[in-house]
């Protein structure tokens, strides 16, 4: 299924030495509302269930997030969002994850002493890259 991942980042208005990442995903020309929560994305890769995957650009799910129901089989992941179904292959899921890791590495190299979060504020994800890589290997 064709998808497009767009990642933007900026020094966060929420704090000093904090970089905010805004990752938007379009699938089949549908731009998913708001941004991907990167931490939740990686945690959901190898699981089925309901996940707070799409969040407000501020980084808080409660502010304007959308839950995604994910079903997995051996070759694909089915995302159900607001009664619409999207099928992503395992390779597409891995590729999106690798692209996110590459962006985070780029930001870490550019802003060496900064924390990095998904959205304007949130948990630091900059030290989770090894774990994210392991998750992708198991995908």
* 2 has a pLDDT exceeding 70: yes
Cα–Cα distance, 139 to 135 (Å, whole number): 6
Q: Torsion-angle region of residue 29: left (phi > 0), alpha (psi -120 to 50) or beta? A: left
pLDDT in tens, 68-105: 999 998 899 999 998 899 999 999 999 999 999 999 99
pLDDT in tens, 110-120: 999 999 999 98
* 130 has a pLDDT exceeding 70: yes
* 108 has a pLDDT exceeding 80: yes
* 6 has a pLDDT exceeding 80: yes
- Whole-prediction pTM value? 0.92
Confidence of residue 1 (pLDDT cuts 50, 70, 90): low
């Amino acid at each position: 299924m064709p998808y497009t991942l767009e990642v933007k980042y900026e020094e966060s208005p929420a704090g000093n030495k904090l970089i905010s990442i805004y990752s938007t995903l379009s699938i089949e020309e549908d731009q998913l509302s708001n941004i991907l929560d990167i931490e939740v994305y990686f945690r959901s890769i190898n699981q089925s269930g309901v996940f707070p995957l799409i969040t407000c650009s501020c980084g808080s799910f409660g502010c304007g997030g959308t839950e995604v129901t994910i079903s997995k089989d051996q070759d694909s992941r089915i995302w159900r969002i607001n009664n619409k179904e999207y099928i992503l292959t395992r390779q597409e899921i891995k590729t999106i994850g690798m692209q996110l890791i590459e962006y985070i590495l780029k930001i870490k190299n550019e802003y060496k002493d900064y924390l990095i979060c998904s959205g304007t504020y949130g948990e630091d994800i900059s030290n989770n890259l090894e774990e994210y890589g392991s998750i992708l290997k198991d995908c």
